[in-house]
Amino acid sequence: MSIDQFQRQYAAHGREKGDGYTPADFAEMTDREREKARDMMLARALAGNTVDLMGLRHVGDAGLVAALRQAASRVASFDWRWDVIRHEVLFDLTQDKAYLFDLATYLDGRDGRAQEGAANALAWRVLPRDAEPFLVDRMCDGRHEGALLGLMQAWLGLRAAAVCDPMCFQRHLPLIRAVTSAAPTRRRQLLAAELTV
């Protein structure tokens, strides 16, 4: 879209706003226009707008990464959703797995919705192989029951080196049911047995 179309989209509200931004929305822009769009989205993202925050993953640069890192001081001003998305965007822009592992703050907290949100953020990423102990420990400790499905999807995706899509989920449904219905102390054994098959 052109910068004028972007500005109309940016100013829209409700259903007119649509579902956010895609990479194609910025493809026709010049570098200068893309920078203007990035600055506009960053200003709103730092004020708490999650749609603009998510859109920044499509126009990120080193300056944006630095600004989002510094925004950690703003976390107390917003709810957990904003910070989970900030971590997702930072990972998407840098591929630094530390941003995903930092989601342990929410996974290990007492808020079930934040646990589930952080687990879902992990499930939508292709995780590095060394994330397996991080996931398995949380699936097996009994403190993450509300996040168990997202953790299972992240683990399955890690095993396949891809996001666990509906076909992957369906194919592994017997394992998912077995793990989610088992006592937490027995889950490690079920997961290990799956690796030997």
pLDDT tens digits for range 89-110 = 999 999 999 999 999 999 999 9
Do 193 and 104 lie in one domain? The reply is yes
Q: How far is the C-alpha of 139 from the C-alpha of 148, rounded, in Å?
A: 6
Residue that terminates a domain, selected from 33, 55, 81: 81
120-137 pLDDT, tens digit each: 999 999 888 899 999 999
Q: At what angle do helices 184-196 and 173-181 cross, to 10 degrees?
A: 150
In a domain, 6, yes or no: yes
Q: How far is CA 142 from the centre of its chain?
A: 23
In a domain, 105, yes or no: yes
In a domain, 145, yes or no: yes
Q: How far is the C-alpha of 129 from the C-alpha of 147, rounded, in Å?
A: 20
Do 44 and 14 lie in one domain? The reply is yes
Q: How far is the C-alpha of 69 from the C-alpha of 63, rounded, in Å?
A: 10
In a domain, 44, yes or no: yes
Assess whether pLDDT exceeds 60 at residue 113: yes
Do 68 and 116 lie in one domain? The reply is no
Helix H or strand E encompassing 157: helix 148-160
Burial 107-141 (b: 16+ CB within 10 A, else e): beeeeeebbbbbbbbbbebebeeebbebbbebbbe
pLDDT (mean) for 18-37: 88
Contact 146, 115 (CB under 8 A): yes
Do 158 and 72 lie in one domain? The reply is no
In a domain, 88, yes or no: no
Q: How far is the C-alpha of 63 from the C-alpha of 155, rounded, in Å?
A: 32
34-90 pLDDT, tens digit each: 999 999 999 999 999 998 999 999 998 999 999 999 998 878 788 899 999 999 999
Contact 163, 169 (CB under 8 A): no
